[in-house]
Amino acid sequence: MNQLKKIDKKIFYLIQKEKKRQSEVLEMIPSENFTSLAVRQAMGSILTNKYSEGYPKKRYYGGNNIIDEIETLAQERAKKLFKVPYANVQPYSGSPANLAVYLATCKPKDIVMGQHLFAGGHLTHGFKVSATGIFYKTVQYSIKDILTDDDLFDYQEIRKMAFQYRPKLFWVGATAYPLKFHYEKFACIADEVGAYLVADIAHIAGLIVGGVHPSPVPYVHIITTTTHKTLRGPRGAIIMITKKGLKKDPDLPRKIDSAVFPGLGGGPHNHQTAAIAVALKEASSISFKKYAAQIVKNAKVLAEELKKFKYKLIGNGTQNHLILMDLTDSLGSGAGVLAQEALDIAGITVNKNTIPGEKFSPFYPSGIRLGTPALTTRGMKEKEMKKIAFWINQVLNEINAFRLPADKNKIHLYLKNFKKVISQNKKLKQIKKEIKKFCLQFPIP
């Protein structure tokens, strides 16, 4: 970093400040993680200098023989790790990868089904403000309020919707769902209506290859994933096609390739591709399997401890890496924004999140989403989760007297005053000191 410090001191010091922040707080946003030094070195390599539009052996620029080897290696590692016959490693991130699937399988205004955002789904599964909800006719299914058989999906209702609307594309996967997915049940419905079934495993990819979450490979046609969450790689994405997908449409690989480039992208980020290859190699190790198992163990202990403090958890706990807390009973509707702010001041980073049956907007939701991937990367285990749950409860107790106004016109001023008051809270400042001391015992990679 010496050269950066010499050339641009402002950026250098901002990076150092962010490094310090990450080192001193509990990063609990379940979509965040810490990459290895090897991944970061690949990301910061001279590969960023090269333009490589096209695919291996089919480039629009010269001088790509080495880049071809790197991209092919990344593809082969992805295919081997996930046990699929095809992989495209060029998508810049998860949302463009998902949009490429639409472009490859649908025409504008085709009907698409996906899990509703308020029920834990992702924007790109057809939510109204996303391009996927603007250019395609989308039908969104929800989840049940009551847990039955370790599952929150009403398959009879989903099947009824599928037969009513006959979607061309059918998404299974979420961004805030704490339980395991039963892909075979979705596959039965999708097959009955002739839809392409896509599993978005962005959150759980690392858990799948680690053997602690079922794989969608035998049941779906297409798989999309990011590479920076539980997979612990750089920010990027992969699109994969299964044997079942090839059987349904042998031309799918060409369609996906064309959708990624030239349909949506330009030159691939070769430094990103190399870093993905490194992360895939790391994920194939025995130590990574142990890591994935520890993520789930940590999440389950954290959930049980939070339940001891009488907090309501969607799904009554977790089976994966994340926990979705419904704060409606304890702190009122819209309390997620208050909780996120207070926890941030205390050195605990989470994100506000909508809950099933949300009464407020995504800007002022009633829940918070938290997870254990980044904590586990730092070496924290069950003992530490109990301490963290204790701190979370202490922080939330400090904001028990606050309630977000129901009148949306009053929310902005209320939040402004809330932030001013809570920033001076002595208890939160004390907790932050305790967390800083605690975190420094667990260095980031």
Determine which one of 24, 50, 51, 144 is catalytic.
Answer: 51
Q: Given the residues 32, 53, 191, 344, select the one marked as catalytic.
A: 53
Burial of 200 (0-12, 13-18, 19+ CB in 10 A): buried
d(CA 297, CA 372): 9
Pairing of β 58-59 and β 54-55: antiparallel
Catalytic residue among 229, 244, 369, 378: 229
Instruction: Catalytic residue, from 50, 79, 235, 419: name it.
Output: 235
53 is catalytic: yes
> DSSP letter at 195?
P
To the query of whether residue 51 is one of the catalytic residues in this protein, the response is: yes
DSSP 247-277: HH-TTHHHHHHHIIIIII--S--HHHHHHHH
Q: Is 416 left (phi over 0), alpha (psi -120 to 50) or beta?
A: alpha
Active-site residue flag, 387: no
DSSP label at residue 148: B
Peptide bond into 250 cis (omega under 30): no
Q: Contact at 8 Å (CB) between 261 and 55?
A: yes
CA–CA distance, 93 with 226 (Å, rounded to integer): 6
Beta strands in 68-128 (DSSP E): 86-88, 111-115
**Token pair 């006959």: residue:** 166
226 is catalytic: yes
Q: Mind giving me the DSSP string for 170-185?
A: EEE--SS--S---HHH
Q: What is the 3-state secondary structure (H, E, C) of 345-385?
A: HCCEECEEECCCCCCCCCCCCCEEEEECHHHHHCCCCHHHH
Using an 8 Å Cβ cutoff, are 57 and 65 in contact? no
Q: How many secondary structure helices (H) and strands (E) does the chain include?
A: 19, 15
Catalytic residue among 226, 273, 328, 376: 226
Rounded Cα distance, 303 and 194, in Å:
39
**Which residues make Cβ contacts (< 8 Å) with residue 243, sequence separation at least 6?**
84, 85
Catalytic-role residue among 200, 282, 341, 398: 200
Q: What are φ and ψ of residue 326, in 5° steps? A: -95, 110
Q: Within a 10 A sphere around the Cβ of 359, how many other Cβ atoms? A: 15
User: Which residue in the block uniquely carries the two structure tokens 């992969």?
Assistant: 238
Structure tokens at 83: 């046990």
**CB within 8 A of 374, min separation 6: which ones?**
27, 28, 29, 32, 33, 34
With H, G, I as helix, E, B as strand and everything else as coil, classify residue 208. helix
Q: CA quadruple 388, 393, 399, 402: dihedral positive or negative?
A: positive
Instruction: Provide CB contacts within 8 A for 182, sequence distance 6+.
Output: 151, 153, 214
Active site residues: 51, 53, 200, 226, 229, 235
